[in-house]
């Protein structure tokens, strides 16, 4: 079915419309052999709170962005290659239901669908796209360099490394880019180059720094004078939303959001 989609006029129009919705801030999405398989709104667990995000599933990439206007204008585009994407089920907890982890070398996070049916649709379509892509390329997945799923800020009142430092407006939370825990400034005073995540060295906790130093899997950059914004600025959850963004983010996505094109 995807092969028929690739060469259809409808597929070309859909991809062009997605590019239009992201505007000049997004990257070109139309390439030969690419098909838009499905789209919809999922609730992404961000570092501060869950937020609705628009997702687009292609046969080789997953694209998502912030919802700006009526779910027809988006910004903060993120593109994840499906080649190394893995899925893990997440147990229901309170109001957070129908979730799963999306894990990849470049970025990992938890998302929630509005219904169990929608969750199954998303997971089955993503898995099929990943399997088909790997089969076509004759490759197997590498799990060694997966990016961690960040622990939400709300789950850590104290530094998860020293267990002593209490977070305040002055003593800010930071995330280790290797393991994803929430740490204080003193417990994350070093950087390490993690090429799968970024081209510049990123903040890591003391435990991960020691482990990386012992294995020498990448390039260290010691730095005990990191400013408060260092290491966490590439998260799409640090952006201050406009009033339009706030209105969209405070609303939950309605049921039946997954639109399949296959």
Average pLDDT over residues 223-240: 45
What are the structural domain ranges in the chain?
2-145+240-260, 153-222
User: In this model, does residue 227 exceed pLDDT 50?
Assistant: no
Q: What per-residue confidence (pLDDT) applies to 238? A: 44
User: In this model, does residue 254 exceed pLDDT 80?
Assistant: no
Per-residue burial over 141-150, b if 16 or more Cβ lie within 10 Å, else e, is eeeeebbbbb
Residue 17: band (very low, low, confident or very high) from pLDDT cuts 50, 70, 90: very high
Q: What per-residue confidence (pLDDT) applies to 102? A: 95
More confident residue, 254 or 73: 73
Average pLDDT over residues 104-124: 94
Q: Give the highest mean pLDDT range of 45-54, 119-128, 224-233, 238-247.
A: 119-128
Cβ neighbours of residue 52 under 8 Å, at least 6 residues apart?
Answer: 41, 42, 43, 44, 67, 248, 249, 251, 252, 253
The region of weakest confidence among 104-113, 123-132, 220-229 is 220-229
Q: What per-residue confidence (pLDDT) applies to 247? A: 44
Average pLDDT over residues 199-210: 92
Looking at the domain covering 2-145+240-260, what would its CATH class be?
Answer: mainly beta
% of residues, the chain, pLDDT over 70: 82
Residues 173-189: tens digit of each pLDDT: 999 999 999 999 999 99
The rounded mean pLDDT for the chain is 84
The region of weakest confidence among 1-10, 68-77, 222-231 is 222-231
Residues 115-141: tens digit of each pLDDT: 999 999 999 999 999 999 999 888 777
153-222 domain in CATH 3.30.499.10?
no
Residues 44-88: tens digit of each pLDDT: 999 888 999 999 999 999 999 999 986 689 999 999 999 989 999
User: In this model, does residue 150 exceed pLDDT 80?
Assistant: yes
């Amino acid at each position: 079915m995807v092969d028929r989609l690739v060469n259809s006029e409808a597929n070309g129009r859909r991809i062009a419309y997605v590019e239009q919705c992201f505007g000049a801030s997004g990257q070109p999405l139309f390439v030969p052999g690419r098909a838009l398989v499905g789209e919809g709104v999922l609730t992404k667990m961000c570092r501060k709170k869950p937020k609705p995000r628009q997702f687009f599933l292609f046969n080789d990439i997953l694209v998502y962005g912030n919802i700006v206007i009526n779910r027809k204008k988006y910004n903060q585009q993120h593109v994840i290659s499906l080649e190394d994407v893995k899925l893990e089920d997440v147990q229901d907890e309170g109001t957070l239901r129908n979730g799963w982890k999306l894990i990849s070398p470049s970025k990992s996070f938890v998302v929630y669908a509005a219904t169990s049916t929608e969750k199954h649709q998303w997971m089955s379509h993503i898995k099929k796209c990943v399997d088909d892509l790997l089969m076509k390329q004759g490759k197997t997945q590498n799990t060694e360099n997966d990016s961690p799923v960040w622990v939400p800020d709300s789950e850590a009142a104290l530094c998860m490394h020293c267990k002593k430092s209490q977070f305040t407006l002055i003593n800010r939370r930071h995330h280790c880019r290797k393991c994803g825990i929430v740490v204080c400034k003193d417990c994350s005073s070093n950087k390490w180059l993690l090429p799968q995540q970024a081209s510049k060295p990123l903040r890591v906790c003391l435990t991960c720094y020691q482990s990386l130093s012992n294995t020498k899997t990448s390039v260290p950059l010691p730095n005990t004078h990191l400013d408060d914004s260092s290491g966490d600025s590439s998260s799409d959850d640090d952006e201050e939303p406009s009033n339009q963004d706030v209105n969209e983010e405070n609303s939950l996505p309605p049921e039946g959001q997954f639109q399949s094109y296959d």
